[in-house]
Homo-oligomer: A and B are copies of this chain.
Amino acid sequence: MKIYTRHGDKGKTQIIGASMIPKSDSRVEAYGTVDELNSWIGYTASILTGKTQEMRAELEEIQQILFDIGRDLATISTDKKHEYVFTDDLSAKQTKWLEDIIDKYVAAAPKIDRFILPGGSPEASALHVARTITRRAERRIVALQEQDSINSNTLVFINRLSDYFFAAARYANVKNDQDDILYRNGNPVFK
């Protein structure tokens, strides 16, 4: 197998349902950023310690789902042959799955009403980085949506995903006995 085909050497590439589009296209930007997020999640999973091993299966499930989402984002809207794989049912089920874990993690961490500094143990910090890359991916998907129609289910899951990473980061600090540090000039922001 040759993984390099040299076809993209001039800056154009293939997506699903179209021949060649520029790599700078907002669609390529969107699923490319999801791929970056997915890789960072892989890195985060690779540095989990004994105390946070239970997150490994969750992170792997999220990676699988991000591939379904990436596939829909990589499909041009004019393509009739392909159907979106991240269906309403799948999206509802998997977003609910995230929400239940969020509720569990939030309940296990000390109550806060102010912003916290993103950090703590290496895995908590990596989860905060995942949170912010998820939000970057969300911004790129919204920018794509302004250019062309997308599977809007993807945005729901991605929005919840950054909240999952916030809750998971706090939970990882609980497991590692590390207190979150509050933003010193903050007012109460969480209700």
With A and B bound together, what is the CA distance between A67 and B118 in angstroms? 10
Copies held by the complex: 3
- Residue of B28, B181, B190 near A1 (CB, 8 A) is B190
Q: Is the CB–CB distance between A185 and B43 below 8 Å?
A: no
Question: What per-residue 1/0 map shows which CB atoms of A20-45 lie under 8 Å from chain B?
Answer: 00111000110011011011111101
Nearest CB of B to A168, in Å? 11
- Give A44-84 interface residues, CB cut-off 8 Å to B: 45-47, 60, 63-64, 67-68, 71
Q: Which residues of B contact A1 (CB under 8 A)?
A: 106, 111, 190-191
- Identify whether the interface residues of A are mostly helix, strand, loop, or mixed: helix
How many residues of A sit at the interface, in one of the four size bands? 35 or more
Nearest CB of B to A75, in Å? 13
With A and B bound together, what is the CA distance between A190 and B3 in angstroms? 8
- Residue of B2, B11, B36, B125 near A46 (CB, 8 A) is B125
Nearest CB of B to A175, in Å? 14
Q: Which residues of B contact A35 (CB under 8 A)?
A: 118, 132, 135
Q: Is the CB–CB distance between A22 and B135 below 8 Å?
A: no
A133: interface (CB < 8 Å): yes
Nearest CB of B to A117, in Å? 5
Residue of B nearest to A41 (CB): B119
A174: interface (CB < 8 Å): no
Q: Is the CB–CB distance between B36 and A133 below 8 Å?
A: yes
Q: Is the CB–CB distance between B11 and A119 below 8 Å?
A: no
Q: Is the CB–CB distance between A85 and B185 below 8 Å?
A: yes
15 contacts between A and B (CB under 8 A): A1-B111, A3-B190, A4-B160, A9-B155, A11-B142, A24-B146, A36-B135, A39-B128, A40-B129, A41-B119, A42-B118, A42-B120, A60-B117, A64-B184, A71-B185
